[in-house]
Amino acid sequence: MNTVEQATKQLMTKGYMDMKIPEGIDLVAEINRMRKEKNAVILAHYYQSGEIQDLADYLGDSLQLARAAAKTNADLIVFCGVHFMAETAKIINPTKKVILPDTQAGCSLADACSGEALRDFRKQYPDAIVVSYINCDASVKAESDIIVTSSNAEHIINSIPKEQKIIFAPDRNLGRYLNQVCQREMILWDGSCIVHEAFSLERIAQQMAENPNAKLIAHPEAQEDLLRMAHFIGSTSRLLEYVEKDKANEFIVATEEGILHKMEKIAPNKKLIPALVQDESCHCSECFFMKLNTLEKLYLCMKYELPEIVIEENLRLKALDSLNRMLELSKTIA
Ligand code: 13P
Ligand code: SF4
């Protein structure tokens, strides 16, 4: 094991607890200084904390961030999101060093499916192709024929001949939703997002009753019953667009609450109500994984250029095929 691998292992087991941040340091100024000095680009997802979103060179949904990673000229990609997103950046742009503030920033959807399990599963359906949601690890991407995100899934699935049998992994909620809008009968893997499954139908119905002019907007990772109640369903970028352009002035937002930071900026005069979750002691719909990234960890990560995303080359090349198909098939999607 070389020094970088050793340090990465230490970070993964002990986190940053042994690493001191000098007292009184201006983290934002230091991050900005390192960004210039190291020719780094900071990519952040809409579910990151507001302070991280404000520092990002590119803020976006999974598709926009994958595209930004593909075309960057930076030497260092600092990915403020979850592991599968940083891994995707490395698969697409392998000559760049990709770092993620906290490698424990996982995803319940990615955890729900492994490449090996998917390989076994598809043996039952020899004439089916596998379409996987980008929220999966490299081994699942390598076993898939096409990757989709919530922004391009409908478009890509509609481009596949109707008679072609499809296995859709790993999100059963997004899969069910796509079956409905694309009029397909895809075979669904049984995974889900713990954040989007935590919403409470009863409490949201109550919020709708209390705010009769508000429109309910939801991410397609949410459960069927909630999606049925929604006025609009879309990826994070589509939800943002909708709130900005729609005539309504009030919205109940059923996705991870980090999105409100950007929504408030683009629609400052609209009332944005975070949809309530089942746990009554908690108002929020936070993704624990996304919020593992903090300003302190971002600073340390840029300082030490660790933890770095490393992928075995054969695996990377297989995963790249399915990602390239996605990029090709969704060229016309904004
Ligand atoms: P999008 O931003 O692509 O809609 O994805 C949502 C999500 O759950 C990311 O983990
Ligand atoms: Fe995964 Fe859900 Fe968190 Fe997105 S919000 S990273 S799908 S656990």
Pocket probe mutation, ligand 2, options 136, 256, 277, 286, max atoms within 8 Å of Cβ: 256
**pLDDT of 283:** 63
4-106+289-310 and 109-194+317-330 share one fold:
yes
User: What does the alpha-carbon distance between residue 87 and residue 287 come to, in Å, rounded to a whole number?
Assistant: 19
Burial 54-75 (b: 16+ CB within 10 A, else e): ebbeebbbbbbbbebbeebebe
Instruction: Output the CA 255–ligand 2 centroid distance in Å.
Output: 10
270: left (phi over 0), alpha (psi -120 to 50) or beta: beta
Residue 193 annotated as binding site: yes
* Angle in degrees, CA 89, 93, 96, rounded to 5: 95
Superfamily of domain 201-285: NadA-like (3.40.50.10800)
Asked whether the beta carbons of 312 and 92 are under 8 A apart, the reply is: no
**CA-closest candidate to residue 190, choices 211, 176, 208:** 176
Segment holding 93, helix H or strand E: none
Residue 58 annotated as binding site: no
Q: How far is CA 42 from the centre of its chain?
A: 15
CATH second-level architecture of 4-106+289-310?
Answer: 3-Layer(aba) Sandwich (3.40)
Atom of ligand 2 at shortest range from CA of 255:
5
Q: Look at ligand 2, atom 3, and give the residue with the nearest C-alpha.
A: 287
Superfamily of domain 109-194+317-330: NadA-like (3.40.50.10800)
Instruction: Output the CA 294–ligand 1 centroid distance in Å.
Output: 19
User: What does the alpha-carbon distance between residue 325 and residue 322 come to, in Å, rounded to a whole number?
Assistant: 5
Question: Longest C-alpha distance within the chain, in Å?
Answer: 63
Residue 150 annotated as binding site: yes
User: What does the alpha-carbon distance between residue 147 and residue 141 come to, in Å, rounded to a whole number?
Assistant: 7
Q: Look at ligand 1, atom 1, and give the residue with the nearest C-alpha.
A: 61
Cβ within 8 Å of residue 247, ≥6 positions away: none
Atom of ligand 2 at shortest range from CA of 107:
1
Beta-sheet strand order (sheet of 250-254): 232-233, 215-218, 250-254, 271-274
**pLDDT of 22:** 86
Domain ranges of the chain: 4-106+289-310, 109-194+317-330, 201-285
- State the residue for tokens 């049998």: 165
- State the residue for tokens 């960057």: 72
Asked whether the beta carbons of 275 and 32 are under 8 A apart, the reply is: no
User: What does the alpha-carbon distance between residue 184 and residue 269 come to, in Å, rounded to a whole number?
Assistant: 40
Return per-residue pLDDT of the chain as tens, 334 residues: 555 566 666 666 666 556 778 899 999 999 999 999 999 999 999 999 999 999 999 999 999 999 999 999 999 999 999 999 999 999 999 999 999 999 999 999 999 999 999 999 999 999 999 999 999 999 999 999 999 999 999 999 999 999 999 999 999 999 999 999 999 999 999 999 999 999 999 999 999 999 999 999 999 999 999 999 999 999 999 999 999 999 999 999 999 999 999 999 999 999 999 999 998 887 679 999 999 999 999 999 999 999 999 999 999 999 999 999 999 999 998 8
Q: Look at ligand 2, atom 6, and give the residue with the nearest C-alpha.
A: 107
Residue 161 annotated as binding site: no
